[in-house]
Structures are given as C-alpha cells and as structure tokens.
Amino acid sequence: MPLPAVITQNLRAGDETSHIPLHVLDQFFAMVQRSGGDDDMGLLAYHKAHPGNLGSLGYAVMSSPTVRDALACIVDFHYLIGTGFCMFLDEQPRTVKIAGFAEDLNDAELPRAFIDGIASMTLGLIHWLVPRRKIMPVFAEFTYARPADTRALESLFGPELRFSAENNSLAFSHEDGNLPTATSNQSLQAIHSDHLAVQPRQVMTDKMGARTKSAVLKLLNQTQPLTLETIAHTMKLTPYQLTQALELEGKSIRKLIDVVRSQQSHQLLTSTQLSLKQISYRVAFKNQSAFNKACERWFGMPPGRYRASHRPDIDSHSD
C-alpha cells in the first residue's frame, strides 16, 4: 500500500523540525482501516516505544530522575516531536495525569489509531524507564466512543477505561510517579535540558501557540483563573516573554483562550452528559448567559441545539 506523498516527503527529510500534518495522518489511518486494518492497530506502538525515537527529547527523558519528571519533560517539549496536538500534566492529590487534546477545533476528533498510538508509546516509555516494575495506569481516558471489543485496551492499560472523555489521558499513582528511572543522571539531565531550551528560535516560536493552549487547558481542568499572569506562570515565563513570543507568531492570548474554550465546549457538549450549567462552569464562564452567547459565536447556535445536533440521546434542555 503506497504512502501519501506528504508522508514520504517528511520521512525523507529526517530532521526534528519536519512533521507530518495531523490531518494527513488521519487520512493515512483511515486508508489503513479501509484496507482491512485492525481496530487496535494503534496499540502496536507500545512495542516500538524507546527514548531514541524521540530525538534529542529522548535523551532528556532518559536522564530524568523520576517517572513524573520524565512525563513533565515530554509535556514541556512535545511540540518538538509532533504537531496538531497539545499536552499537559495534571497533578491531583493521588494521581499525576498526562493528557492530550487536538490543537485545532477542526481536528477535535483525533483518529483512534493516533490516540492509541500516543497512549501506548507513553506507557511503553515508562516501562522502558522502570524495567523492574510494570507500572499500570490508575485509569486511562479516551475521547472516542467505547469500542465493541475492549479486550486489547484492557490488556495494555488495565480495566479502568473511560470513553467519550474530555481528553485523552493516562493517570498514574503518585507512588509510581515518584519512582526513580533506571537511566537517571542528574548531570546529563542538566545538559539535555539546556540543549532543549536553546532549540532553534523558529521552532520555539512556531510552537508557542500550542504550548499556550496546553497551559490554558491545564488551568481549565484545575478551575484556575485564565489570566495572562497565571498562564505565563504555568509556562514558566513572564507575562512579557509570553506576550512577545505570541506576537512573533502573530497570535494573541485572548484568541488562544477562546479557541481552547470553544474546543472544550464542543467536546463536553458532544461527548458527555454534563448539564449546560456544569459545562459553562468547566469552561470558565461566570454565568450560563455568557456561555450561550459564546456558543452562538462559535457554533452559530445555542449550546442546547448544538448538543442536540450531535447527540440527540442527551437531554439538551438540562441546566
């Protein structure tokens, strides 16, 4: 089966700044599926998980002192290895969760094979870093609907699977997150972190929008205020640094916040049974009236009607 030209071109390029667009990967996965591919084909990525596949990011991951630090490293620099998706780390009293979502509202429905592939590779990397203990997720979340057969998913991620979720994520216990990695090296980690921090200016600039969206989503999940100061602090930048970097990319913090809010609203309205009032709160609106107006602007209709057009099985009039 021939690969699409854009994929072969990117593979031949062979450098870390050359990425295959997400919509092209979506087309590729759909093509494989039509040709009789396995529904669980994304899970095969588990067996290919190795830090060496992440380029310079892989070295920083390997030298990370703990599992949690390795996950944080992947989140902080994921934009160096892929486009079309954002990631964030969400720490709760009992768990540390690595989560991802589509960067563009038009790509809100990531293909299942892509989601499974990222989740499988993440878990495979953790098992590679801590070979003497098979760490298992406390739970795994997927934005796609529950498949007819979940046995392969359960075999890899365990029985606690959640489908039609807000985000794609793997949650691990804090105990497992604090486990040391077999390749930890404090001196090397400092060198690798410095190397990642001075990546080519254009790469860093081009990805600032994605990093900002990740920070906004993290704050939304933690019900924190969406201000320039809180977003910059989450990204370990000053407000001035963040503003300047976004200006170089031709983007504004206000528009990026709006994009993430619209995307999360779409996901919550079409994939959950939360009431409109609950969704309004989850996307940081002070009242449902403001949320209704935003949905009119985003989707051309109020939230109840938008939900009904996608999920007629859910009561659209719940408040």
Are 158 and 140 a contacting pair, CB within 8 Å?
yes
Q: Tell me how far CA of residue 242 lies from CA of 213, 230, 258, 284, 293, in angstroms.
A: 12, 11, 17, 21, 29
CA-nearest of 263, 67, 34, 26 to 171 is: 67
**What does the block give as tokens for 163?**
């489908």
The pLDDT confidence band at residue 6, using thresholds 50, 70 and 90, is very low
Mean confidence (pLDDT) of the chain? 82
Where does the chain show beta strands of DSSP type E? Answer: 85-91, 95-102, 139-141, 161-162, 168-173
pLDDT tens readout for residues 271-290:
888 899 999 999 999 899 99
Query: Quick one: what percent of the chain has pLDDT higher than 70?
Result: 76
| Chain segment 302-316, per-residue pLDDT in tens | 999 999 988 766 665
- Rounded Cα distance between 168 and 101, Å, is 6
77 has a pLDDT exceeding 70: yes
Q: Are 125 and 58 in contact (CB under 8 A)?
A: no
Band of pLDDT at residue 292, cut at 50, 70 and 90: very high
Residue 37's Cβ-count burial label (10 Å; 0-12, 13-18, 19+) is middle
- Residue 202 clears pLDDT 50, i.e. is over it: no
Q: What are phi and psi of 173, to 5 degrees?
A: -70, 155
Whether 56 and 73 have beta carbons less than 8 Å apart is answered as no
All domains of the chain, ordered by start, with CATH? 20-186 (no CATH), 200-310 (1.10.10.60)
CB 151 within 8 A of CB 34: no
Q: What are 266's two structure tokens?
A: 């779409």
Residue 74: Cβ within 10 Å count: 22
Residue 128's pLDDT band (cuts 50, 70, 90): very high
Q: Do residues 157 and 140 touch, judged by C-beta distance below 8 A?
A: yes
Q: Which positions ≥6 away from 211 have C-beta within 8 Å?
A: 79, 86, 235
